[in-house]
A and B are shown apart, each in its own frame.
Chain A
């Protein structure tokens, strides 16, 4: 089963699997792999040929793989999971992933979220409520603080902010892109590179600008994992105000609900 061959198996259909509909199989060497997922009888037969131990083992390897990859906070591609771990078991990929998701929830209190349905990328988010406690030292690094500030600026300004405004605001907090910061190092790299790669921020070119301008939005991970309510509260605390005075943001924060945590 060489990764380098291109094979087409059947006509394409929808990408739902649980109902047992089939799909295109196309093996691209590095990029996205769409998977043939069997009908329910085929699935049963596939599973029957493998021992439960083998399937569990594969599931365990996928869990390990995702945990290791998640340390970097970079989204995990389905193609990588198939290429490096699932391999010859790819025809029961969805069955394996179902068990993987269940394991993450029940054992680790984490949720595996597919943030990009087109390119099939996953992130792990925390299902447990964030708790302020120094003793637990749950990774509240200075970077998290900086990120919260930036997310706050973007949120308070309606969801999109020009890059220049971010830097001018951070300058007031004595964080400058040109200088090397004690806690953050190369701040520009952290904000424009690391936070964007980790999908906390989106950094998008503004069209028809010369010289080129960029703007920041919340990234997919922030959307899924950061509570708008917490961001507003944080912002209000910094300004020493009641969060309610920002009426539209308050409404948006209330509506977006909770059940997420900024790791």
Chain B
């Protein structure tokens, strides 16, 4: 049975509300600082318990501080997510109807792609197909920029993908919306957006890049864990070191 909320919990929650998502290291620092400021007992390994207390009290509001993994670097993140089944509630107030429609269509492109990326040209072409108010190319660029700043999308070399925060917040929506179209990572069993896919057409399993690094660590010849076909994609090296540090 979780304990009562104290000001240390409230301060942590307020910071989470301001930031939306924080990395594991920051969450640990925040935990320590909140306990120090409000003079409550602190132990570094009690972070999960601390967050659980907050979550117990957030549950009636369909909100939760959730732990997730970044698809890019395998780092752990804490995000404040909205579990209510009205999916895009948090975004809804910041974006107009046609902007939300653009976002959903961009998400379609990203989820349906092999590697979880959609290039800006393809997204710009969506502007003409919007059922709600149409958008000029310049407008689309502006909306995409805002989506990146607000941490819903990530942009790399002109390609867009879903951010860690987006996947954590909209996990339920994504699973409901795309069902079989969205694959789960073969290793960690979470939604796999940015991922590598097995080239065997009758297999087609997906793995997150950090999960690939972890799975193939130390192996000379990588093979698909499901069908044993040669795994042709680049196995990241530096990430392995990062992961080793975190595990």
List the interface of chain A (C-beta within 8 A of B).
Answer: 56, 59-61, 63-64, 67-69, 71-72, 103, 106-110, 126, 128, 131, 133, 135-139
Contact B14 A108 (CB under 8 A): yes
Q: Give the docked Cα–Cα distance between A63 and B62 (Å).
A: 10
Which one of B5, B15, B18, B62 contacts A107 once the chains associate, using CB atoms below 8 Å? B5
**Which A residue's beta carbon lies closest to that of B18?**
A139
**Which A residue's beta carbon lies closest to that of B32?**
A135
Stretch of B39-47, B82-90, B117-125 at the chain-chain interface: B82-90
B10 at the binding interface (Cβ < 8 Å): yes
Which one of B10, B37, B94 contacts A108 once the chains associate, using CB atoms below 8 Å? B10
**A126 / chain B contacts, CB cutoff of 8 Å:** 14
Which one of B13, B14, B93, B94 contacts A138 once the chains associate, using CB atoms below 8 Å? B14
Which one of B14, B30, B37, B62 contacts A64 once the chains associate, using CB atoms below 8 Å? B62
Q: Give the docked Cα–Cα distance between A131 and B30 (Å).
A: 13
Which one of A109, A131, A136 contacts B10 once the chains associate, using CB atoms below 8 Å? A109
**A64 / chain B contacts, CB cutoff of 8 Å:** 61-63, 82, 84, 89
Label chain A's interface by main secondary structure. Answer: helix
Extra pairs beyond A109-B7, A136-B33, A137-B15 (4, CB < 8 Å): A60-B60, A103-B60, A110-B14, A139-B18
**B58 / chain A contacts, CB cutoff of 8 Å:** 107
**A133 / chain B contacts, CB cutoff of 8 Å:** 33
* A138 and B15 in contact, given A64-B84, A106-B57 (Cβ under 8 angstroms): yes
**A71 / chain B contacts, CB cutoff of 8 Å:** 93-94
A-B contacts, 15 of them at CB < 8 A, read: A56-B60, A60-B60, A60-B84, A63-B61, A64-B63, A68-B89, A107-B10, A107-B57, A109-B14, A110-B14, A128-B11, A135-B33, A136-B15, A136-B30, A137-B19
B202 at the binding interface (Cβ < 8 Å): no
Contact B14 A106 (CB under 8 A): no
B131 at the binding interface (Cβ < 8 Å): no
Q: Mark B107-132, 1 if CB is under 8 A from A, else 0.
A: 00000000000000000000000000
Q: Give the docked Cα–Cα distance between A135 and B15 (Å).
A: 10
Contact B30 A69 (CB under 8 A): no
**A110 / chain B contacts, CB cutoff of 8 Å:** 14
Contact B61 A60 (CB under 8 A): yes
Contact B15 A72 (CB under 8 A): no
* A106 and B5 in contact, given A56-B60, A136-B30, A138-B14 (Cβ under 8 angstroms): yes
Measured between C-beta atoms, what is the minimum distance from A258 to chain B in Å?
15
